[in-house]
Structure 1
Amino acid sequence: MSQIILQASPWALFIGRFHPVLVHLPIGFLLIAAFLEIGRRTGKVAVSEGTVSFILFWSAISATIACIAGYLLSLGGGYDADLLSDHMWQGIGVAVFAWIAWLVKSDRFQRVIPYSSMIYLPAFAIATLLLLSAGHDGGSLTHGEEYLTQYTPEPFRSLAGMSPAKETITEIKPLADVNQALVYKDVVQPILEMRCVQCHNESKQKGDLRMDQLALLVKGGEGGPAFIAGKSAESDMIKRCLLPENDDDHMPPKGKPQLTADQITLISWWIDQGAPADKKVAELTISEQVKPALAALGTSGTGNAATKSAVSAIQNVKVPAADEKDLAALKKAGLIVNALAQDQNLLEVSAVNAPDFTDKDMALLAPVAQQIAWLKLGDTKITDAALKEMQKFKNLNKLHLEHTIVTDAGLANLKNLPLLEYINLVDTKVSDAGLKEAATFKGLRSIYVWQSAATDSAVREVSRKNSNLMVVNGFNEAAVAEFLKAGDTTAIKAKSKAP
């Protein structure tokens, strides 16, 4: 079977993705065999040679299987070619020398070839050393070349002749003067480094795309350009961020930290302005939707509005821990429950795996009403009655209702939730009246109404009157038609939803 056929085979990639699991088997077997052999030869462990031989046999078997799965995984692409080649041959070396060590250890082979026992220890040692080297390169392929040594402290770093540690971006530092900030260097690049570069860098190039340098980002990857200057709605990197999180094409992948609504807005704005490399914020046209996102980048010295928008309303909220029995009941019903911050006891509850969740099931949430901060009920069977129950969720901060049948009447029940900042109403029955009502909610910062009953004119009116509220209307029908006409490579689902 040719590599091209394997690349196109879902079976090849399915089996390949078991490599990270399978590769732990030869690691365990070989290390156990090594320790037993050392213990046996030093008289510390009473173990027979047959036992060591048995473990070596399974280390060779598992190493071979791991090599096959690793090769199939590599067909998916996105890895540094030289590093991948080193890792592959080291893995093959582990399997080969494990087989040799097992063969010369067996009584049958020793009887056939004299002095074969002299080969045993060198073969065993080489297999073990290659195992360690292959493991290091495997980690580098997955997490980057400096993954193992990234956090080496001083003075060991200097003694080893290593370069100074690179600063890892975990949050975007406030800008002293937003207007004078360079849009790409100070606004866009920090977002990409924090959310995208981990999988799109020099050593790991998923989709043959690098995002650690602007020139390489412009070049694009195997699917073509990452963005089209002046047209964010037609740019692949934006469309992928707006796909449902459980979609295979969504980026960043499910389970990775996601871009916020403000971050997507800022990158889209940069692209729409022509993706300039060296222009300042003040030199570009700033829309009403972009103003709150830019204000959130400022320091406290830029004014109270910026400070308020930069700090989440739930940042200092602390509640008692939820009862474990109540959490168990939620999980039994198919809901996903995650802690947002251990010291606050706030929870994220998601019904992504419970599409049959109904109004009656809201009773399961009642015992943890004060702990729920993020609630995801998109694609479920809830109605306005469920929103009435949410009046009790006083710490609710982020609410997903996309692809449900909720209406203006249900939305009105959320008016008195003091900490609510985000509502996703994509593909709902909410109309212009509901949108205008939501605009009066104290503290609301983002609302998504793409494919809802709200009209473009109402969106423009609400955006104009409420500078601190970002109203996202997503793609319109004309834009979708243009994507299809242009042969868009990213599948646009009939029910695509905003992040």
Structure 2
Amino acid sequence: MNMLILLQATTSPPSDWVLFWGHFHPLIVHLPIGFLLIAGLLELDRLTRRNSVSPHTITLILFWSAVSATMACIFGYMLSLAGGYDTETLSSHKWQGIAVAIFAWLAWSVKSENLGRIISFAPLLYLPALGIALVLLLSTGHLGGNLTHGSDYLTQYAPGPIRSLAGLSPKQPEIKFEPITDVNQAKVYQQIINPILQTRCVQCHNADKSKAGLRLDSPDKITKGSEDGPVLVAGKSSNSDLVKVCLLPEEDDHHMPPKGKPQLTESQIALLTWWIDQGATFDKKVSDLKVNDAIRPVLASLGGNGPVETGGSNVAASGPAPESPVLTMKLPAADPKVIDEVKKAGLLVLPLSKEQNQLEVSAVNARTFNDAQASILPKLSKQIVWLRLGDTEISDATLTQLAKLKNLQKLHLEQTKITDAGLKQLKGLTNLEYLNLYGTVITDAGLADLANLKNLKTVYLWQTKVTEQGISELKKALPKLDVIGGLDEKAIAELAKTAAEQKSEESKKP
């Protein structure tokens, strides 16, 4: 068994076909559970109430329980190749699952009288085989739950009397984070970063369940990283997988947290990025680190009773960054018919302020949103303040329509087909403060057009074609701009070379 685990650890990653079928395990595994339980209940009813249940009916149920249990074993093995599970628990779950299938086949072969033709005492094996299959089914299901949700999933909220009866340790108190009374004196990791990780990441990356070999429940485990290497590079958030995976489209298999789980907010991603860029230390206070204009209002929103200081330099005279004027502006109410029209295009329309009529429009559920449909957006030109068009089918033609949204403050264009030519259309958006261009083909030429956006505070440039020179020129024009991501071709080539070398070294391991 240990040899099998070793072979799994050293072989090449499983193919997409293997993982595709492996993901059917949670679906298939419910079939043998249902079939075996029904067979057990029918037999119990037959024995206790002397009811006549057709032997053919039970035989058929047992046959499909054995078939589905076998399929669950095969798909479960494929799923296990993805890694990220506790080895000991996974091994027990696997072998108990195989045993369920074996005893299900044994029970069927006896009930169908196939085995009786070969072994005279076979009928005596029927009830023990069915009973063992049912007991193993419960145990295997429990271990499967532990792999998915953690070892304390069933008992986490058990009341005191039940815990005592079951011999469980007293319930651990909920993690309580130290409140922030003065943001300047707040401990960055302990009071700001750790709460984010605990509420968004630790559920899948802890001592009982460490997907990809990664644990995020303590500083030393965070520093250690995953089975693929470090997940953060101190001082370089653009090279840190801890942030990269949060910026991937939610449908991407590598996006974290997984789809369906509570996602990180933009503010939380900004805080993680800032922490890593400032060295990813575990013992510093906010006042010990450099606080730029982009992160200052995020920190101020965490609580405290004073303006945020930066790196020992008191900026109390200037106070926190002022709120965007467009967020305090009283705007005319939108036409309800237009809002309905926008919703029919698949977009979400969310009020930012009912009193002031600002709106957020999002295409999070409309990935096929395109240039032709974008012509509807200018009908809400005064009300749209935040616009999310990331990962849709729009191109530069849509940016011509966006140029009419004069009150736009936050714009998501990540993973779209926009180019440098399209960015020229945004020159008139004087209220724009946030721009996400992640995963686009924008180059230095496009960055040059952003220099006219004097209120721009944050721009995301991950996986674009910009260079350090282009970023440097943009920073000269907008000194207070916070540029997140952005690597030149040389840096990308260096990263690719390093990754290839690591992969080569892994393949040489015995």
TM-score by length of 2: 0.74
> Which structure has more RCO (C-alpha within 8 Å, separation ≥ 6)?
1
Please tell me whether residue 424 in structure 1 is matched to residue 430 in structure 2: no
Alpha-carbon distance, 1:458 to partner: 2.9
1:155-211 deviation per Cα after TM superposition (whole angstroms, max 9, x unaligned): 645665443245379xx8862122222222222222222222222211222221211
Range 159-168 or range 282-291, more displaced: 159-168
Report the counterpart of residue 204 of structure 1 in structure 2: 209
Alpha-carbon distance, 1:347 to partner: 7.0
Report the counterpart of residue 164 of structure 1 in structure 2: 171
Q: Which of 274, 289, 309 is the matching residue for 1:284? A: 289
Report the counterpart of residue 349 of structure 1 in structure 2: 363
Alpha-carbon distance, 1:114 to partner: 4.1
Counterpart amino acid of residue 411 in structure 1:
L
Report the counterpart of residue 55 of structure 1 in structure 2: 61
User: 1:234/1:455 Cα in 2 relative to 1: closer, same or farther (>3 Å)?
Assistant: closer
Report the counterpart of residue 107 of structure 1 in structure 2: 113
Report the counterpart of residue 496 of structure 1 in structure 2: none
What are the within-5 Å matches in structure 2 for residues 265-414 of structure 1?
265-299=270-304, 305=320, 330=345, 348-350=362-364, 353-354=367-368, 357-362=369-374, 375-378=388-391, 380-385=393-398, 388=401, 399-400=412-413, 402-405=416-419, 407-408=422-423, 410-411=425-426
Range 253-262 or range 221-230, more displaced: 253-262
1:73-131 deviation per Cα after TM superposition (whole angstroms, max 9, x unaligned): 21222111111112112211211111121122123434554453332222212211221
Please tell me whether residue 186 in structure 1 is matched to residue 191 in structure 2: yes
CA distance in 2, matches of 1:438, 1:210: 42
CA distance in 2, matches of 1:393, 1:106: 76
User: 1:239/1:297 Cα in 2 relative to 1: closer, same or farther (>3 Å)?
Assistant: same
Report the counterpart of residue 35 of structure 1 in structure 2: 41
Alpha-carbon distance, 1:27 to partner: 1.2
User: 1:138/1:388 Cα in 2 relative to 1: closer, same or farther (>3 Å)?
Assistant: same
- Provide structure 2 residue ranges, at least 5 long, that are not aligned to the other structure: 309-318, 504-510
Q: Which of 66, 72, 82 is the matching residue for 1:76? A: 82
Q: Which of 175, 181, 193 is the matching residue for 2:180? A: 175
Report the counterpart of residue 216 of structure 1 in structure 2: 221
| Contact 2:399–2:426, Cα closer than 8 Å, also in 1 | no
User: 1:11/1:431 Cα in 2 relative to 1: closer, same or farther (>3 Å)?
Assistant: closer
1:22-48 deviation per Cα after TM superposition (whole angstroms, max 9, x unaligned): 111111211222233333444497631
Please tell me whether residue 93 in structure 1 is matched to residue 99 in structure 2: yes
| Contact 1:7–1:13, Cα closer than 8 Å, also in 2 | no
Report the counterpart of residue 497 of structure 1 in structure 2: none
CA distance in 1, matches of 2:128, 2:376: 62
Please tell me whether residue 151 in structure 1 is matched to residue 163 in structure 2: no
CA distance in 1, matches of 2:496, 2:272: 23
Report the counterpart of residue 225 of structure 1 in structure 2: 230
CA distance in 1, matches of 2:502, 2:266: 20
User: 1:87/1:398 Cα in 2 relative to 1: closer, same or farther (>3 Å)?
Assistant: farther
| Contact 1:226–1:237, Cα closer than 8 Å, also in 2 | yes
1:254-305 deviation per Cα after TM superposition (whole angstroms, max 9, x unaligned): 4544434433343333334433232222223334444333223224666995
User: 1:99/1:339 Cα in 2 relative to 1: closer, same or farther (>3 Å)?
Assistant: farther
Report the counterpart of residue 457 of structure 1 in structure 2: 473
CA distance in 2, matches of 1:319, 1:116: 78
| Contact 1:261–1:446, Cα closer than 8 Å, also in 2 | no
User: 1:362/1:101 Cα in 2 relative to 1: closer, same or farther (>3 Å)?
Assistant: same
Please tell me whether residue 437 in structure 1 is matched to residue 449 in structure 2: no
Please tell me whether residue 475 in structure 1 is matched to residue 487 in structure 2: yes
Alpha-carbon distance, 1:247 to partner: 4.4
| Contact 2:377–2:402, Cα closer than 8 Å, also in 1 | no
Alpha-carbon distance, 1:19 to partner: 1.1
Alpha-carbon distance, 1:58 to partner: 0.5
CA distance in 2, matches of 1:394, 1:287: 24
| Contact 1:322–1:368, Cα closer than 8 Å, also in 2 | no
Equivalent position SS for 1:39: helix
CA distance in 1, matches of 2:24, 2:212: 20
User: 1:373/1:268 Cα in 2 relative to 1: closer, same or farther (>3 Å)?
Assistant: closer
Instruction: Tell me the C-alpha RMSD between the 2 structures.
Output: 4.4
Aligned length: 463
User: 1:460/1:97 Cα in 2 relative to 1: closer, same or farther (>3 Å)?
Assistant: farther
User: 1:366/1:388 Cα in 2 relative to 1: closer, same or farther (>3 Å)?
Assistant: closer
User: 1:187/1:23 Cα in 2 relative to 1: closer, same or farther (>3 Å)?
Assistant: same
Report the counterpart of residue 24 of structure 1 in structure 2: 30
CA distance in 2, matches of 1:158, 1:61: 40
Alpha-carbon distance, 1:379 to partner: 5.5
Alpha-carbon distance, 1:21 to partner: 1.4
Range 213-222 or range 116-125, more displaced: 116-125
Counterpart amino acid of residue 70 in structure 2:
T
Identity of counterpart residues, as a percentage?
42
CA distance in 2, matches of 1:217, 1:398: 32
Alpha-carbon distance, 1:59 to partner: 0.2
CA distance in 2, matches of 1:54, 1:199: 39
| Contact 1:40–1:47, Cα closer than 8 Å, also in 2 | yes
Equivalent position SS for 2:363: strand
- Provide structure 1 residue ranges, at least 5 long, that are not aligned to the other structure: 332-336, 492-499
Alpha-carbon distance, 1:446 to partner: 4.2
User: 1:485/1:105 Cα in 2 relative to 1: closer, same or farther (>3 Å)?
Assistant: closer
CA distance in 2, matches of 1:224, 1:364: 46
CA distance in 2, matches of 1:210, 1:41: 50
| Contact 2:97–2:137, Cα closer than 8 Å, also in 1 | yes
